[in-house]
């Protein structure tokens, strides 16, 4: 089966991680945990944490500038900014408009996507549509999270897992040489909405002093529920995206999966019958940066020469919602 012709392609990648690095051993001092538990159960050894005063939109704008540079474009060339985040600067307006302001972009549409860890794959899928229908030529897609400010630092079941960071790509029209987004598929299942949730602070539960005391405005997760569904759905979405692209897993040069847990990635690798060496891994360094994890790993692998032009790459991500998706790209 031949692959569909891509309509958009990645013109440049960028990323940004805050300078401050927190090691597992640092966390041993604040919650009842251990370096061995964290590294053996998740693969995480370190994570980057934003400095006081550093904003989500600062991280996002830094990654965006880097992607624009790599694409040889400037903010004036952009037709749209899409930001995948659940930890924007303010509940309203979107993080994307602060990024627009910081980049000095024109009066273009700028909006956020709330799909948690799948936010980047959702953003990519939406951008691909706007480029395909000719409404936009250059779209900046960013995945960014500043989760350290919405974690309960007394809850060892969540606070050891996440980190801060941003990754970005600039998409532009495909040039007809087969490179670009060949297929991209997104899904949600609201029946599991409460398995990974910030329960307070929205209209369902406006914040009260008691709510703040009980950390209702912080991330709550039933880790095992998400683990099981992550392995199943990341594998099935990947196979659907591959099938839509007219490819098999064996045709892939690289997989850039959401970096939530090395054990999840290993089980997805087994289900796709792919060696773990085919996966770009950086969970050890960043922890789970939610929507930023795929574009950060992508940018690192592009810049260090692992991912090369013309190679077939699969993205797959799953997070709160639950929302998930997978994309097949020829770089």
Residue 279: φ, ψ to 5°: -100, 135
Examine residue 45 and tell whether it contacts ligand UT7 (CB under 6 A): no
Count other C-beta atoms under 10 Å from residue 23's C-beta: 12
Examine residue 199 and tell whether it contacts ligand UT7 (CB under 6 A): no
**Active-site residue 138, yes or no?**
no
Examine residue 114 and tell whether it contacts ligand UT7 (CB under 6 A): no
CB of 130 to ligand UT7, least distance (A): 27
Residue 24: φ, ψ to 5°: -55, -40
CB of 20 to ligand UT7, least distance (A): 20
By beta-carbon proximity to ligand UT7, the closer residue of 136 and 260 is 260
By beta-carbon proximity to ligand UT7, the closer residue of 179 and 220 is 220
Select from 4-12, 31-39, 141-149, 174-182 the region that touches ligand UT7 (CB under 6 A): 31-39
CB of 144 to ligand UT7, least distance (A): 15
CB of 324 to ligand UT7, least distance (A): 9
Contact flags string 247-266 toward ligand UT7, x per CB under 6 A: -------------xx--x--
Of 42, 198, 38, 58, which Cα lies nearest the Cα of 116? 198
Examine residue 288 and tell whether it contacts ligand UT7 (CB under 6 A): yes
Examine residue 136 and tell whether it contacts ligand UT7 (CB under 6 A): no
CB 67 within 8 A of CB 96: no
CB 53 within 8 A of CB 22: no
CB of 221 to ligand UT7, least distance (A): 6
**Active-site residue 258, yes or no?**
yes
Catalytically annotated residue among 159, 233, 258, 316: 258
Examine residue 327 and tell whether it contacts ligand UT7 (CB under 6 A): no
Examine residue 125 and tell whether it contacts ligand UT7 (CB under 6 A): no
d(CA 169, CA 292): 11
| Burial call 183-213: b when 16+ CB within 10 Å, e when fewer | bbbbbeeeebeebbbbbbbeeeeeeeeeeee
Of 11, 13, 7, which Cα lies nearest the Cα of 292? 13
Torsion of CA 224, 229, 230, 234, to 10 degrees: 170
d(CA 49, CA 18): 6
CB of 148 to ligand UT7, least distance (A): 15
Examine residue 278 and tell whether it contacts ligand UT7 (CB under 6 A): no
d(CA 66, CA 70): 6
Examine residue 232 and tell whether it contacts ligand UT7 (CB under 6 A): no
Select from 69-77, 84-92, 152-160, 204-212 the region that touches ligand UT7 (CB under 6 A): 152-160
Count other C-beta atoms under 10 Å from residue 297's C-beta: 28
d(CA 229, CA 137): 36
Select from 66-74, 127-135, 153-161, 172-180 the region that touches ligand UT7 (CB under 6 A): 153-161
**How many residues interact with ligand UT7 (rule CB under 6 A)?**
20
Long-range CB pairs of 275-278, under 8 A, 24+ apart, other chains included = 278/252, 278/253, 278/254
CB of 36 to ligand UT7, least distance (A): 9
Residue showing the smallest CB distance to ligand UT7 in the complex: 223
d(CA 214, CA 263): 31
User: Which tokens sit at 159?
Assistant: 């606070």
Q: Give the catalytic positions in this structure.
A: 117, 258, 288
Binding residues for ligand UT7 (CB under 6 A): 33, 37-38, 41-42, 117, 156-157, 160, 223-224, 226-227, 230, 260-261, 264, 288, 290, 319
């Amino acid at each position: 089966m031949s692959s569909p012709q891509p309509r958009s392609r990645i013109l440049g990648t960028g990323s940004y991680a805050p300078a401050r690095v927190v090691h597992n051993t640092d966390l041993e001092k604040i919650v009842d945990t251990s370096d061995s538990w964290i590294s053996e159960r998740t693969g995480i050894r370190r994570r980057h944490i934003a400095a006081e005063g550093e904003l989500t939109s600062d991280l996002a704008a830094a990654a965006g500038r880097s992607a624009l540079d790599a694409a040889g474009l400037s903010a004036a060339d952009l037709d749209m900014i899409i930001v995948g985040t659940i930890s924007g600067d303010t509940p309203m307006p979107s993080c994307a408009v602060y990024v627009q302001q910081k980049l000095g972009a024109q009066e273009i549409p700028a909006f956020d996507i709330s799909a948690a860890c799948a936010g980047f794959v959702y953003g990519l899928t939406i951008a691909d549509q706007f480029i395909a229908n000719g409404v936009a030529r250059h779209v900046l897609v960013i995945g960014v999270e500043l989760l350290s400010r919405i974690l309960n630092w007394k809850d060892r079941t969540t606070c050891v897992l996440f980190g801060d960071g941003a990754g970005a790509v600039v998409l532009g029209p495909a040039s007809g040489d087969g490179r670009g987004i060949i297929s991209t598929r997104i899904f949600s299942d609201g029946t599991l909405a409460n398995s990974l949730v910030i329960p307070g602070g929205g209209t369902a539960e406006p914040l009260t002093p008691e709510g703040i005391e009980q950390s209702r405005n912080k991330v709550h997760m039933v880790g095992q529920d998400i683990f099981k569904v992550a392995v199943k759905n990341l594998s099935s979405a990947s196979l659907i995206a591959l099938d839509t692209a007219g490819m098999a897993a064996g045709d892939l040069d690289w997989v850039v999966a959401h970096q939530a847990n090395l054990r999840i990635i290993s089980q997805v690798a087994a289900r796709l019958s792919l060696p773990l060496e085919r996966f770009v891994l950086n969970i050890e360094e960043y922890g789970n940066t939610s929507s930023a994890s795929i574009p950060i790993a992508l940018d690192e692998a592009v810049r260090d020469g692992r991912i090369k032009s013309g190679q077939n790459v699969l993205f797959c991500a799953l997070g709160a919602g639950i929302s998930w998706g997978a994309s097949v790209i020829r770089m």
